[in-house]
Amino acid sequence: MGYELRVVRDSPLAFAELAKAIAPAGFELRGAEEITAAHGGGRHPVARWAGRLVGEPGSDWQVAQLLRLSAALGARLVGEDGEMYTLRDGVIEVETGGSVVEIGKFDEIIDAGPAAWSP
């Protein structure tokens, strides 16, 4: 199991609400638990439903998609250690302990696709 990012809302997220909200945002539900997004003629996993919505990103593209999904659900994207992933002026940022680190430009990351991070 990799590092988890969680989609968090002030009010609980019900599965029926998730299923209704994802299609207009460009996501698809595969089976009863996997949420995917399209790129390059294929569908790629972004998150899974396990009583809550979580993702284990292996690329910046997946982080960007998780941010899109969070926005579609009126939620925040939070890491295991409490860091917040946000989008400010078209740039994905990670806020933790009072510091902010830029990941990259959202549009460029989405266009680049789900290429995995190098070890």
The DSSP line for the chain is ----EEEE-SSPPPHHHHHHHHGGGTEEEETTTEEEEEETTEEEEEEEESSSEEE--SSHHHHHHHHHHHHHTT-EEEETTS-EEEEETTEEEEEETTEEEEEEEHHHHHHH--PPPP-
Q: What is the predicted pLDDT for the residue at 29?
A: 92
User: How do residues 59-105 score in pLDDT, each as one tens digit?
Assistant: 999 999 999 999 999 999 999 999 999 999 999 999 998 999 999 99
User: How do residues 34-48 score in pLDDT, each as one tens digit?
Assistant: 999 999 999 999 999
**Stated pTM of the model:** 0.92
Give the model's confidence band at 1: pLDDT under 50 very low, under 70 low, under 90 confident, else very high.
Answer: very low
